[in-house]
Amino acid sequence: MYSCWNFELHGRRLAVMEWGDPSATPVIALHGWLDNAATFRQLAPLLSGVRLIAIDMAGHGESGHRPSGSPYYIWDNVADVLAVADQLGVERFSVLGHSMGAGVAMMLAACVPDRVAQLFLIEGLAPLVYEAESLPRLMAEALSKHRRLERRTLRPYDSVEQAVQARINGRWPVSRQAAQWLVERGLERCPTGWRWRSDPALLLPSVVRLSDAQVEAFLVAVRAPVALVLGDKGIDPERMRRQLPLLADARLHVLAGNHHLHLEAGAAAEIATLIINSLRGSSAD
């Protein structure tokens, strides 16, 4: 079983799903872009001896949106995660991140190395990188899109089932159960049917982006042991394989599955075993 709660951060709601004994080893879990904390419902019950604290990041799931006109930069989530940890009185913790959440986790570990014990990253390692010379052009293009379309509207669904089918048949297919979990937390009623709670502004391109050198500096600054889990049918594995040697202590695990392999029973069991063994090994040192 899990509990749900939220708190206010600068007038904005941050929502959390939590599993496990409050006295168990704390692990903060961060979902991917346009997902929500329910992405960990397959994995969380398998994490014996773990207190899993899964956050709906700003603009996702049941968390509030950032103010109108405010950008969604990946690094702003780092401050939000620290606020959750401080609210809970958790000084030192490990982080489990999927996709975008993995990039947030890595940047967090680089910024506050004394607070992050271990990183467990699924199908993600660092924010996307860009050639430095391309940044002025990309900024100009992003500014133009923001001016033309400050808030995109997402097409509503006629029914909850239609939303479930859309998730099942998405770019990275998931099981019906996984789709139902994500939809249950991510959908809300609207006058024309059902729509995602996600802020449409998340679909706009970032005005400010990171160069390869900047991301490398964060990777080099990470001191925590890192376990990187990739699906054999996942996304962009070569980029992450190239970045992995920049980490001081990293292990690569390739499992059967696509970008959302942690939502499938078999891969989730393997990932849970990996996490439990790593945490037990660390506590025995």
Lowest mean pLDDT among 179-193, 205-219, 224-238: 205-219
Cα separation, 172 vs 132, whole angstroms: 30
Dihedral, 41, 16, 85, 93 alpha carbons, nearest 10: 0
The CATH number given to 2-130+211-284 is: 3.40.50.1820
Look at residue 206 in the predicted model and tell me its pLDDT: 84
Per-domain boundaries in the chain: 2-130+211-284
**1-28 mean pLDDT:** 95
Give the confidence band of 208 by pLDDT, cuts at 50, 70, 90. Answer: confident
Cα separation, 113 vs 103, whole angstroms: 15
**140-164 mean pLDDT:** 81
Give the confidence band of 128 by pLDDT, cuts at 50, 70, 90. Answer: confident
- Provide the annotated active-site residues: 99
Cβ neighbourhood burial of 145 (10 Å; 0-12, 13-18, 19+): middle
pLDDT at position 196 over 70: yes
pLDDT tens-place string over residues 15-58:
999 999 999 999 999 999 999 999 999 999 999 999 999 999 99
pLDDT tens-place string over residues 237-263:
999 999 999 999 999 999 999 999 999
Q: Can you tell me whether residue 250 is helix, strand or coil?
A: strand
